[in-house]
């Protein structure tokens, strides 16, 4: 990892910097990164400017932006009481103000505040998401807040009480694994199990296949492995499905949330623990940071899957201190999106001919 700090961009309240080779890596791989932060209600799009070897950083306001699922032509994004579909309106090879993708919020599903966390799309193009408030996997409904599809076997009913803090969803054609912070069946019971009550559940069998985790997040099925983040210890790794044991391959100096993959790399989202918030305090992460003489940071790290080495990093400073989700957008160099804070969304009109 190249440790030299390079300042790439300042976007209003966001100072963004990282290792000097990150822009060229994004250019070589022909990818962009997207992330959300509910703490300051932002969708952030990170690309590169090859001509200057600088980072392109673009953000828009979506109230309590959380779950995110990206393809080159479409983004799905959850906000406080809606799930948004943003579509690219540029033709292949087209540009708008120097950007090669322009995502516009075209469709919003009003769900109410059901606390949507992870979002995915299955092999039938059905949108799946975790409703943490209702402790379930759900999908969209044309007339209701959502349609529950599955809940953990220890949850006794569909009820708007965050009991086990179900949060993460791994999809391989269909919903395959979920993460939760506990097996509690009482409202807010998961907070008493933050240190080691975390679990992974096999959706098809209802079996709990891993236990003893600390607030696990972001399970992902990639290259025939179940990867996840053991957030309360700042660890990235995978679950050995034969033994049910979590194997950490890298430590990140942060509360980790948001995980995506590209080739032989994982991109992990980093958050600073909230000062004075009991949700994130008192975890083993606090002791591990002290032992490593490190300060928690907000940003992303790119990790080599073979060695566990941190090969690239990006940091946010300023008002953004937490991330929720991270996604890779393949084949996109410099993306942007429209939001609702300016008149541009009213004035930019495109036609399907």
Phi-psi region of 69 (alpha: psi -120 to 50; beta: other; left: phi over 0): beta
Q: How high is the pLDDT of residue 215?
A: 97
Q: How high is the pLDDT of residue 66?
A: 98
Written as six digits, the tokens of 70 are: 């990206």
Q: Shortest CA distance to 132 belongs to which of 58, 192, 78, 74?
A: 78
Q: How high is the pLDDT of residue 239?
A: 98
Spatial distance between the Cα atoms of 96 and 199, rounded to a whole number of angstroms: 45
Q: Decide if 224 contacts 174 (C-beta within 8 A).
A: no
Q: Decide if 323 contacts 87 (C-beta within 8 A).
A: no
Q: Decide if 244 contacts 209 (C-beta within 8 A).
A: yes
At 256-281, the pLDDT tens digits run 999 999 999 999 999 998 766 667 77
Give exposure, 48-76, as e/b (b: 16+ Cβ within 10 Å).
bbeeeeebbbbbbebebbbbbbbeeeebb
Q: How high is the pLDDT of residue 10?
A: 44
Q: Shortest CA distance to 321 belongs to which of 278, 261, 270?
A: 270
Q: Is the full-model pTM beyond 0.75?
A: yes
At 284-293, the pLDDT tens digits run 999 999 999 9
Spatial distance between the Cα atoms of 238 and 228, rounded to a whole number of angstroms: 6
Is pLDDT of 199 > 60? yes
Spatial distance between the Cα atoms of 54 and 337, rounded to a whole number of angstroms: 19
3 burial type by CB count under 10 A (0-12 exposed, 13-18 middle, 19+ buried): exposed
Written as six digits, the tokens of 24 are: 């060229």
- H helix intervals, 53-208: none
- H helix intervals, 74-184: none
């Amino acid at each position: 990892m190249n440790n030299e700090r390079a300042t790439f961009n300042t976007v209003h309240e966001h100072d963004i910097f990282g290792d000097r080779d990150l822009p060229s890596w994004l250019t070589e791989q022909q990818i962009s990164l997207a992330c959300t932060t509910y703490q300051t209600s932002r969708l952030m799009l990170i690309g590169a400017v090859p001509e200057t070897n600088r980072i392109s950083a673009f953000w828009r306001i979506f109230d309590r932006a959380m779950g995110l699922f990206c393809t080159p032509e479409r983004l799905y994004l959850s906000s406080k009481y809606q799930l948004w579909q943003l579509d690219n309106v540029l033709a292949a090879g087209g540009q708008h103000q120097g950007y090669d993708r322009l995502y516009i919020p075209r469709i919003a599903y009003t769900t109410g505040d059901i606390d949507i966390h992870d979002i995915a799309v299955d092999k039938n193009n059905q949108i799946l998401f975790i409703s943490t408030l209702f402790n379930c996997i759900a999908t969209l409904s044309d007339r209701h807040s959502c349609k529950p599809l599955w809940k953990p076997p220890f949850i006794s009913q569909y009820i708007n009480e965050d009991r086990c803090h179900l949060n993460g969803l791994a999809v391989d054609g269909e919903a395959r694994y979920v993460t939760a912070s506990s097996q509690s069946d009482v409202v807010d019971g998961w907070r008493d199990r933050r240190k080691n009550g975390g679990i992974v559940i096999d959706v098809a069998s209802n079996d709990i296949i891993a236990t003893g985790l600390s607030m696990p997040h972001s399970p992902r099925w990639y290259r025939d492995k179940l990867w996840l983040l053991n957030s309360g210890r700042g660890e990235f790794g995978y679950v050995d499905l034969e033994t049910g044991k979590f194997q950490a391959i890298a430590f990140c100096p942060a509360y980790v949330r948001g995980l995506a993959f590209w080739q032989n790399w994982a991109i992990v989202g980093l958050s600073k623990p909230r000062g004075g918030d009991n949700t994130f305090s008192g975890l083993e992460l606090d002791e591990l940071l002290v032992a490593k003489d490190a300060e928690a940071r907000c940003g992303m790290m790119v990790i080599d899957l073979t060695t566990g080495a941190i090969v690239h990093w990006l940091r946010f400073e300023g008002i953004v201190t937490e991330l929720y989700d991270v996604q890779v957008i393949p084949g996109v160099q410099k993306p942007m999106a429209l939001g609702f804070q300016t008149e541009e969304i009213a004035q930019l009109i495109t036609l399907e001919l």
